[in-house]
Structure formats: structure tokens, C-alpha cells
Amino acid sequence: MTVTGTRNAPDVVDVVALGESMVTFLPARPGRLADVPAFHRSIGGAESNVACALAAAGHTTRWVSRVGADGFGDHLVEAIGAYGVDVSYVRRDPSRPTGVYFRTAGDRADDTHEVAYYRAGSAASAMSPTEVDLEAARAGRVLHLSGITAALSPDCLDLMRELTAPRPGRPLVSFDVNHRPGLWGEGQDPDVLLELARGADIVFVGEDEARQAWGLHGARAVREALPEPEIVVVKQGKGGAVAFAKDTDGPCEDADGTATFVRALHVDVVAAVGAGDAFAAGFLSSTLRGLPVRDRLRHGHLAAAATLITPGDLAPPPPRTLADRLAALDDPAWGRLRLGPGWTDADAEAAEEARTP
């Protein structure tokens, strides 16, 4: 059962993000979940993270989802709305709970990292083409989705197929593959993520997750498997990211489009969780501004760097004037940048002085 009301046609916003958000419990100190005595409450969700980061960067955004009619659902709606995100199309479910999860302080890629999800049967897992407002979801210049939603339930997969299907007047569809092996149960095939990615206009995927989910090795192989999207961004961890774009200012190198590589920044990392969402937000923000592909990648790296220096999933993005100045550096200066805690509060000149010798 879903509680809804009569609404007017939704306003068009810059970005709509659709997906599950959960209440996140961050450890009070490092250690195994069994040993951590207390946790701090926060929010976490790939798509809502992107919406919050874009709202903080000055864009109009909307989060479309479902949460339980419980205190955790109240917290999510209030916390995400406090970033300036439109949460008026989030539906409340009195019969299903809001998802929660606990995690350790380490990097997700670290063998000691633990995550305990309590999301089975959540309100968001009941999202479907009939249980979300499709008009509100499509009322954006960009619709941002992730592969996490596809793994939550068959109804959620149906919704993802509906939103990535070609149709007249469809917004620009951004899809972050976000392959989470723990979410794909027996009988579920992560190859469906390849199908969904082919229906998107912009795709974000890590080179490691493309190898794990699809058996693809290398950025070029990823692009060859995804010829349809206008832009495919392959993230290569600490190395950087490469974007294959069909339409650029220069001639295409081959049928896959021009490949633009931007190395990652040197960052004094506090926690890596949420950096991928921040990267997507930085890339989409500069896409909305019509910046060239190289600058979109640089803004993605800068937004990720802002999150890497904080313990939570979300961090204020760098001021636009600072990010624009750093993104405009020549390649040697970009390569010398080293960013640590507090860099987003510095002025552009001070940030440039943070370059390594």
C-alpha cells in the first residue's frame, strides 16, 4: 500500500536522481563491526548522493524514491531535502521499512572493509513503473540512475528498463553501473547492467567492475561493448579516467569516438566511500554547463577529491570559481596538485600552492 496525493505537473529541474537511499551508520572509530562500540547516523545512497552534490553546486535537483513511513524515512527525506533537493515525489510506504546499513571506516576495496545491509523488503525495493511518479522522474534535463536499483527486485528492474527505453522527449539518461556483487543473488544476471547501460546516453563504469561483472579487460573493450551511449566514462581508480565521446570539438579517432584521458589527483584520502558518486556529480554539473570533455573529467576528479577528504558519503563540492580555476591548469600543473583536508575552503591561489614539488 502506498500513500499518495493529487499533484500538479512536476516542474522541470536540471537533474532527477532515482534510487534507494538508506540511513547509514558510520563507526565512531576504526575496527571490525563486532568491535565498534558506537556509530554516527548519516545518509547514503548513490543516486541521492549525486542529487545532493549537484544541489550544493547550485543546480536544481529532484530525488524520486520510496521510503518507509518510519523515523528513518523521515530522516532521509529531511536530510536530503536540507541540501535543496526536491523530495516532494518521494512516496511513503506504511508496510515496508526504510533500509539501513552499517559499515567500517576502511576503504571498500580494502579486505578489512565490512558492510552490513538491512534493506531486504525495503520500501525502495517495491519501486516499479506503477509505484513511482514517472512524469516526475522524466521532468529533468538529466535523469540519473544506477545499477544498484536493478538488483533490488524484479519490479525495480522493470522500472529501470522503462526509464532507459528509447522514447520521444526522453531526458538525457545518465547511468552509473555501480556493480555491487552482494546484491546480485542466485539466478540474477549482472549482464542486465550491460543491457541498461546500452540504453543510456552517459555511462560511468569502473574498469574493475566491468571486469568483474562482464569479463571485459581495459577501457577500449568497455567502449566496444557499449557502442550506443554518447559518452562512456571508464574510471581507472588512482590512475584516472578516460571518456569515449561520439561528439567532440575535434575529429573522432575511430568508430568508438575520441578518447580523452585525465589523470586522477593526488589526494590525502580519509575515506573513499562516495567518491564515485561525487565524480558523477562533478561530471554532470559541467555537462550541464556545456564544458568540453576534458574539463568534465577534471571537474569529476575535483568533486571526488572533496569527498575523499571526509569520512562520510557526502561532502560540500569545491566552490565553482575554485574548481574552474584548477580545471583550467595546464597538464604539468594539474599533475602536481596534491589536495588534503581543507582544500575546498582555500582560495584558488592557495590551492595551486598545494602542488607537490
Query: Which residues are catalytically annotated?
Result: 277
* Closest-CA residue to 90 (of 120, 126, 133): 133
Residue located via cell numbers 543473488:
185
Closest among 311, 308, 269 to 29, alpha carbons compared: 311
Give the residue carrying C-alpha cell 516499479. Answer: 128
Pairwise CA distance, residues 83 & 36, whole Å? 29
Measured CA angle at 145 (ends 123, 24), to 5 deg = 50
Q: Are 135 and 9 in contact (CB under 8 A)?
A: yes
d(CA 105, CA 188): 30
Distance separating alpha carbons of residues 310 and 26, to the nearest angstrom: 12
Residues 108, 212: Cα–Cα separation, whole Å:
15
The one-letter amino acid at 95: S
CB 97 within 8 A of CB 72: yes
Dist. CA 314–CA 144, nearest whole Å: 17
Secondary structure (3-state) at 128? coil
Q: Residue 236, exposed/middle/buried by CB under 10 A (0-12, 13-18, 19+)?
A: middle
Find the DSSP H helices in the chain: 46-56, 71-82, 134-138, 147-152, 154-164, 192-198, 207-214, 219-225, 275-288, 293-308, 320-327, 331-336, 348-353
